[in-house]
Structure 1
Amino acid sequence: MAGATLSSTLPPRSEVAPVTLRAALPVWARIAALSFGGPAGQIAVMHRILVEERRWVSESRFLHALNFCTLLPGPEAQQLATYIGWLMHGTRGGLLAGGLFVLPGLLAIMALSWIYALYGEVGLVAGLFFGLKAAVLAIVAEAVLRIGRRALKGPVMVALAGASFVGIFVLDVPFPVIVLAAGVIGYLGGRADLPPFRAGGHGASARDDGGPYLLGDEALPQERASHGHVPRVLGIWGTLWLAPVLALLVLLGPGDVFSEIAVFFSKMAMVTFGGAYAVLTYVAQQAVEHYGWLKPGEMLDGLGMAETTPGPLIMVTQFVGFLAAYRTPGGLPPLVAGTLGGLLTTWVTFAPCFLWIFLGAPYVERLRGNRALAAALACVTAAVVGVILNLAVWFALHTIFREVRTLALGPVRIDAPVLASLDPYALALALAALVAVFRLRAGMVTTLAACAAAGLVLRLLGAI
């Protein structure tokens, strides 16, 4: 039941008061409002509030949930909130925690999409986004190093990251193939107990002092898998997710922009593993190069929006869907079409996230401490470092140069800049952002604000 407490699952000497779903609501709202800074920052916020301050879940329970969510397609931070909400209060708790995590970003990105569509190519707004692109480049570069330091423990993991980068940047290997191969390698290595594959979970900012916690290591989740769990969850959430997709295909046909949005982002929800930055590689290349919904610079503008608003970075997909429908509105007013396209994108992006959690969480709770699963996670994370490096290079080329060409020789395909198209102002801003992030240790919000202000000044001076 939604309002049921967890007193029956607490360790006998626990000093943590039971929590109802109603009492949990403002805490999840607070987490949602503070969910800036990408998945690393969002996970750190959740860890501080849920483990250190509230002591709702133990360190090991938190890390086990995070390990599972990292292996899933889609945004790991939103899925982690859903998982812990489910762990505490069942399906209703998962819906509350996961839904609130998305809501602030949905509203903010929609408002910014309207502004961008109406004024994005005009005056100061164009200068604002010019500056944001440089800051985003520095933030993505910092993400490569941050995740690399955590994931690349030993030569095997470094080799996996390098092979991942070469595979996606040079050989155009599909991202899902890279992730699947890394996971299989890690799983087999873990099962064989080979030393390079002995991996633990994610690092945490706080030491586990053993409790007391509301949900300690031995406490059971409120909901457990019962007879018919799999077909019931698949039936409910599969219908909620895919019924709108099928309806659009039947009513509008596969060539309509709304059908394309529904199908593409539904496929994305099934194959994009490894966190937000890895997902964006796939989305950016498909939306820009295959569908032509927007330009590379506009993808960077959308990422700048997602970086400066609360919620998962994958909310940039709402901006993509908005522009796609806005520019091909059919018989609808462009802003109405764009709004519907953005909402459709968000629905088919996040509905599967609830499906994965509600379907798998009861079984994953039985796998805590599984060596092969931990090794598979470590290898996937190492491969994702290479994928994010590819994203950083791709963004850098399209930020600093106005023109990029694809060079092909057999299976080799490389994006190469046209040197004569170098944008000196973009290069200077990107270098300044890199110095701010790596040398001055400036925060993300500070760097974004400074670069946006610099872009405005350049626009006022007529330099861009």
Structure 2
Amino acid sequence: MSSNREAVPLGTFLAYFLRLGTLGFGGPIALAGAMHRDLVEQRGWISEADYQEGLTLAQVSPGPLAAQLAIYLGYVRAGILGANLVGLVFILPSFLMVLLLAALYLRFGGLHWMQAVFYGVGAAVIGLITRSAFKLAKATQKRDALAWGIFAVVGLTTAITGREWVLLVIGGGLLFWLVKTRPWRHAPASLGLMPPFWMTGLHGPAALGTVGGIFLFFAKAGLFVFGSGLAIVPFLRGTVVTEFHWLTEQQFLDAVAVAMITPGPVVITVAFIGYLVAGPLGAVAAALGVFLPVLVVVILAAPLLRRHGQRPGLKALVQGITAGAAGAIAGAVVVLGRGAIRDLPTALIALGTLGLVWKTKIPEPVLVLAAAMSGSLLFRG
């Protein structure tokens, strides 16, 4: 089937992604699946070949998978203009929701009811991330012993040290590429003007330089998010909590929880973090930092992908990096669990959430809401 690029008005195409960004829960795998079902199978707006090319690009290049796939499909429909507009309408709803939640958190974060809600939600998030880590590992590693080895090494290192080692993840990709492609066989023989409110976070008004630092940090972070938005969690924790001390362990876990209970890409958690550090302007800087590289990568890589995307060497490199990223997510479950699971009730909430998400089809937002209600009842301060 060829994509009906001319048959569907651009406004209708954008309206679909606005709705998906507003109501699309379930993480990157669910969102990518919804795009295939709706745009390829049911509506025929996008061809199977174009969708698979976009999915390949999202997997072989850094950036959150669902957002990158959406932007690529926008490029297929209307070139650079379509890529920009689809990226905007897909990301904007969850960004605005997170902005509101961050403002409420900053205003009422010290109140008992807010602490009680996150008491339960934080534990539930551990269960949800555990399930996501397992699904990602199972989908990417399959039966490859080397991929599982990279996964285990990066996962244990992250769990023990409490932070993700980016060079170890990249090294895993290079190792996988070397082993799988053996490139030496083919090598040649010769080898300050803003109002205070806009930059006020947890620690009061932030300097304009801090906002710039937020943008640069999250732009760098966005370059190491392969496959799933959850891959950014261990990377962020190591810097946001341990190195820069922007947030406490609990505040960081709350930021992850906000991303899990809002629709759209999980990586939108960066906007919540940016808001807590430097107010609304910090949220904008963080979101731009993460998503701008994605947009640039798609626009630059889309033409090249159609010619070189299936080369075995490139696919091997990406599979190795993905294995390392999946291991980092698994390690992050342990690291975050230490802070979220504080007693028997939170342990039961985490295990109950994991069991339900594993064995049932209950939507994740419903599980998080139930955890919030449980936390409100069980929290003792």
Displacement of 1:323 after TM fit?
A: 0.9
Deviation string for 1:250-279 (max 9, x for gaps)? xxx999432331332232233444431111
- State the partner residue of 1:184: 174
- State the partner residue of 1:442: 362
- State the partner residue of 2:195: none
| Shift in CA distance, 112/397, structure 1 to aligned 2, threshold 3 Å | same
Instruction: Give the AA of the match of 2:159.
Output: F
| Shift in CA distance, 15/83, structure 1 to aligned 2, threshold 3 Å | closer
**How far apart in 2 are the matches of 1:444 and 1:339?**
27
- Aligned: 1:102 with 2:96: no
**How far apart in 2 are the matches of 1:426 and 1:50?**
40
- State the partner residue of 1:261: 214
Instruction: Give the AA of the match of 1:387.
Output: A
**How far apart in 2 are the matches of 1:457 and 1:172?**
31
Alignment check: 8 A CA contact 2:124 2:368 kept = yes
- State the partner residue of 2:348: 428
Displacement of 1:64 after TM fit?
A: 2.8
**How far apart in 2 are the matches of 1:394 and 1:173?**
8
| Shift in CA distance, 443/317, structure 1 to aligned 2, threshold 3 Å | same
Correspondent of 2:102 among 107, 113, 129: 113
- State the partner residue of 2:81: 92
3-state SS of the aligned residue for 1:442? coil
**How far apart in 1 are the matches of 2:69 and 2:165?**
22
| Shift in CA distance, 141/30, structure 1 to aligned 2, threshold 3 Å | same
Alignment check: 8 A CA contact 1:128 1:452 kept = yes
- State the partner residue of 1:158: 148
Correspondent of 2:304 among 359, 363, 367: 363
| Shift in CA distance, 254/74, structure 1 to aligned 2, threshold 3 Å | farther
**How far apart in 2 are the matches of 1:16 and 1:273?**
29
**How far apart in 2 are the matches of 1:273 and 1:56?**
27
**How far apart in 2 are the matches of 1:92 and 1:304?**
33
Instruction: Give the AA of the match of 2:296.
Output: L
| Shift in CA distance, 357/16, structure 1 to aligned 2, threshold 3 Å | closer
Aligned length: 359
- State the partner residue of 2:280: 339
3-state SS of the aligned residue for 2:223? helix
**How far apart in 1 are the matches of 2:161 and 2:75?**
41
**How far apart in 2 are the matches of 1:445 and 1:348?**
27
Alignment check: 8 A CA contact 1:34 1:45 kept = no
Displacement of 1:439 after TM fit?
A: 4.0
- Aligned: 1:55 with 2:44: yes
Displacement of 1:163 after TM fit?
A: 2.0
Instruction: Give the AA of the match of 1:339.
Output: P
**How far apart in 2 are the matches of 1:323 and 1:107?**
15
**How far apart in 2 are the matches of 1:98 and 1:255?**
27
Instruction: Give the AA of the match of 2:223.
Output: M
5+ residue gaps, structure 1: 1-9, 194-252, 326-337, 402-422
| Shift in CA distance, 297/172, structure 1 to aligned 2, threshold 3 Å | closer
- State the partner residue of 1:332: none
Query: TM-score by structure 2 length?
Result: 0.86
Displacement of 1:438 after TM fit?
A: 2.6
Correspondent of 1:324 among 260, 268, 277: 277
Alignment check: 8 A CA contact 1:106 1:315 kept = yes
Correspondent of 2:235 among 278, 282, 305: 282
Alignment check: 8 A CA contact 2:70 2:87 kept = yes
Deviation string for 1:60-117 (max 9, x for gaps)? 4323322221232221210110011102210011011111111001110000011101
Displacement of 1:122 after TM fit?
A: 0.5
| Shift in CA distance, 273/25, structure 1 to aligned 2, threshold 3 Å | closer
Instruction: Give the AA of the match of 1:424.
Output: L
State percent identity of aligned pairs. 27
Q: Which has the higher helix share?
A: 2
- State the partner residue of 1:384: 325
- State the partner residue of 1:137: 126
- Aligned: 1:398 with 2:351: no
| 1:37-56 map, 5 Å | 37-56=26-45
**How far apart in 1 are the matches of 2:267 and 2:215?**
16
| Shift in CA distance, 437/273, structure 1 to aligned 2, threshold 3 Å | closer
Deviation string for 1:177-213 (max 9, x for gaps)? 23322332333444359xxxxxxxxxxxxxxxxxxxx
Instruction: Give the AA of the match of 1:133.
Output: G
Deviation string for 1:370-403 (max 9, x for gaps)? 22222223222222221111111111111114xx
Displacement of 1:156 after TM fit?
A: 2.1
Correspondent of 1:295 among 237, 248, 265: 248
Displacement of 1:59 after TM fit?
A: 3.2
Query: TM-score by structure 1 length?
Result: 0.72
- State the partner residue of 1:80: 69
- State the partner residue of 2:193: none
| Shift in CA distance, 361/286, structure 1 to aligned 2, threshold 3 Å | same
**How far apart in 1 are the matches of 2:284 and 2:4?**
43
Displacement of 1:170 after TM fit?
A: 3.9
- State the partner residue of 2:194: none
3-state SS of the aligned residue for 1:318? helix
Displacement of 1:31 after TM fit?
A: 2.1
